[in-house]
Amino acid sequence: MNPGPCYLAFEGAEGCGKSTHAARLADELGALLTRETGGTRIGARIRAILHDTEVTDLADRAEALLTAADRAQHLDELVSPALAAGRHVVSDRTVYSTLAYQGYGRGLDVDELRRINGWAIGHRWPDLVVLLDVSPDVQASRMHGRELDRFERESDEFHRRVRAGFAAMAAADPDHWVVIDADGDLDTVYRSIRSAVRERTGL
Ligand code: TMP
């Protein structure tokens, strides 16, 4: 991979440990740690709509466009300036979450979402996507007892399609994706992430 600032994405299902690992990696690399949705002040307001369990009538395309709006703000306000200043960026979710959740999950056209989101991000796609793959059983045990948001309340079938969508995107673009088995304990999973990132980016 080119020397210079690297834009690293963490993706995966709820309960895969993404946020913990993204924070640890960003700390180690001295990178900007950020997230979608809700990484900016505008994004926090958008996220509030998206996660509100009282929002029961949000159209699928409106949902997709809200995530794209969050992302456009995020790129302009945080990601692009950091990269331009020579700083690595680690983001807890990116554009691929929309392809997985609104595309594979909700059934919107994935190519159309790719096009709309390419525009939203000014065509600055992540350099490397770390997909944390967690099995449904381990995921269920990690989510047990948590209060669930609007997405987490979706059916098992929805979450199965999201997981399959992530796997399909990773398989189709192995140059930009690395898949990590995230069923193990935090330190074991982080070691796998760290060595994969080193191998793929030199960082
Ligand atoms: P998290 O930020 O706590 O991981 O939760 C984000 C939730 O929002 C998760 O269920 C996935 C969902 N989501 C989408 O559906 N589309 C998106 O583009 C993003 C960024 C998140």
Q: How far is the CA of 153 from the centre of ligand 1 (A)?
A: 12
What mean pLDDT do residues 102-120 have?
Answer: 98
Residue 3 clears pLDDT 90, i.e. is over it = no
The residue whose two tokens read 């079938």 is 157
The pLDDT value given to residue 186: 96
Enumerate residues 6+ apart whose C-beta is below 8 A from 19. 10, 35, 92
Name the closest-CA residue to atom 8, ligand 1.
151
**Average pLDDT value for the chain:** 97
pLDDT tens column, 122-172: 999 999 999 999 999 999 999 999 999 999 999 999 999 999 999 999 999
Residue 2 clears pLDDT 90, i.e. is over it = no
* 3-state SS, residue 124: coil
Under 8 Å between Cβ of 37 and 75 = no
Name the closest-CA residue to atom 4, ligand 1.
14
Estimate the crossing angle of helix 156-172 against helix 136-143, to 10 degrees. 130
Whole-model pTM over 0.95:
yes
* 3-state SS, residue 12: strand
User: From CA 97, how far away is CA 120, in angstroms rounded?
Assistant: 14
User: From CA 52, how far away is CA 42, in angstroms rounded?
Assistant: 16
| Residue 1 pLDDT grade (very low, low, confident, very high; cuts 50, 70, 90) | low
CATH topology of domain 7-201: Rossmann fold (3.40.50)
| Residue 27 pLDDT grade (very low, low, confident, very high; cuts 50, 70, 90) | very high
Q: In Å, what is the CA distance from 200 to each residue of 17, 72, 82, 128, 134?
A: 21, 27, 21, 8, 22
Q: How far is the CA of 179 from the centre of ligand 1 (A)?
A: 19
Question: Per-domain residue ranges for the chain?
Answer: 7-201
Name the closest-CA residue to atom 10, ligand 1.
151
